[in-house]
């Protein structure tokens, strides 16, 4: 399970039942129980699902800048559903309140240089086309995103980054987007024979995602921020 995210025993029991008795995949479970996909996926990998985790909190304060300007991004590794037939496909996505901005395939090892190159070549042109130059960018806290010289370089191109606490995947709207996309990519038991075929399936599913799909994820952002403050940094749905 994702560090810092605490689920109730009732939630764990429900997740275990959906996995064991209903034979649902993590993406389907995440949508069913309204819990972030990464949290569900990592919990499902554990044999001791019903074990109580150590309690850990989250920073209570977060900069609430104009949320309409915030663009959310994250990487996701889509894997073979056929018992590891192939390695999988690494995908980077960016969403905003109004639209799914980018879905790009990443090749090889992802480092700070390849990530910043993708932002400058694909992401920032899409943001400018849809929203102009006044925006705030929320990234996850992966180590490749925190390299100081890369951040300073991106700022020269107009990036303004949202100050974001660690251990907060349940607050990132992209987590809900991934759960939706994964469910559609593997809908009706769909499987893929290689990485290129999987990537085509991802692009096809992403092309069908509309503003009506994305908007609810972003609209819930402020409500969940307020809920976290009220609960002193504890987990919220």
**1 has pLDDT over 70:** no
Give the number of other Cβ atoms within 10 Å of residue 221's Cβ.
18
Contact predicate 194/86, CB 8 Å: yes
Which residue's structure tokens are 């889509």? 78
| Whether residue 132 has pLDDT greater than 80 | yes
Task: Please check whether residue 202 is in contact with residue 103, taking contact to mean a CB–CB distance below 8 angstroms.
Answer: yes
**What six digits make up the tokens of 1?**
């399970």
What does the mean pLDDT of the chain come to?
A: 77
- List pLDDT tens digits, range 50-98: 655 444 544 444 444 454 455 555 566 655 555 455 678 889 989 888 7
With 50 as the cut, is the pLDDT of residue 200 above it? yes
Q: What are phi and psi of 103, to 5 degrees?
A: -135, 110
Higher pLDDT: 192 or 225? It is 192
* DSSP annotation string for 158-213: T--B----SS-GGG-HHHHHHHHHHHHHTGGG---SSHHHHHHHHHHHHHT--HHH
Torsion over CA: 207, 191, 74, 112 (sign)? negative
Lowest average pLDDT, out of 14-18, 61-65, 103-107, 118-122, goes to 61-65
Given a cut of 90, whether residue 202 has pLDDT beyond it is yes
pLDDT mean over 8-14: 84
Name the phi and psi angles at 86, rounded to 5.
Answer: -145, 170
pLDDT for the residue 45: 78
How many Å apart are CA 91 and CA 169, to the nearest integer?
17
**Residue 232: predicted pLDDT:** 79
Q: Is the pLDDT of residue 135 over 80?
A: yes
Residues 234, 6: contact at Cβ < 8 Å? Answer: yes
For the whole prediction, is pTM greater than 0.75? no
Q: What are the tens digits of pLDDT across the range 140-189?
A: 777 777 788 888 888 888 888 887 766 665 677 888 888 899 999 999 88
Q: Strands, DSSP E only, in 25-175? A: 70-78, 89-95, 100-106, 136-138
- Look at residue 112 and tell me whether its pLDDT is greater than 70: yes
Tokens representing 138 are: 């929320």
Which residue, among 62, 102, 91, 80, has the nearest Cα to 228 in the 3D structure? 62
């Amino acid at each position: 399970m994702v560090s810092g995210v605490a689920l109730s025993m009732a939630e764990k029991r429900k997740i275990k039942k959906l996995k064991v008795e209903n034979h649902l995949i993590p993406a389907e479970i995440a949508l069913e129980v309204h819990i972030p996909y990464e949290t569900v996926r990592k919990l499902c990998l554990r044999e001791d699902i019903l074990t109580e985790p150590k309690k850990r909190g989250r920073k209570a304060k977060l900069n609430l800048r104009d949320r309409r300007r915030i663009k959310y991004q994250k990487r996701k590794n889509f894997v073979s559903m056929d018992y590891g037939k192939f390695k999988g496909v690494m995908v980077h996505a960016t969403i905003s309140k109004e639209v799914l901005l980018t879905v790009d395939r990443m090749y090889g090892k992802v480092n700070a240089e390849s990530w910043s190159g993708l932002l400058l070549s694909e992401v920032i042109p899409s943001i400018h086309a849809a929203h102009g130059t006044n925006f705030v960018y929320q990234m996850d806290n992966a180590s490749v995103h925190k390299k100081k010289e890369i951040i300073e370089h991106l700022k020269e191109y107009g990036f303004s980054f949202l100050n974001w606490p660690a251990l907060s995947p349940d607050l990132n709207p992209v987590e809900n987007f991934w759960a939706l996309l994964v469910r559609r990519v593997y809908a009706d038991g769909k499987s893929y024979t290689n990485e290129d075929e999987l990537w085509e399936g991802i692009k096809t599913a992403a092309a069908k995602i509309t503003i009506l799909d994305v908007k609810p994820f972003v609209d819930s952002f402020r409500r969940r921020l307020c809920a976290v403050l009220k609960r002193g940094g504890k987990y919220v749905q």
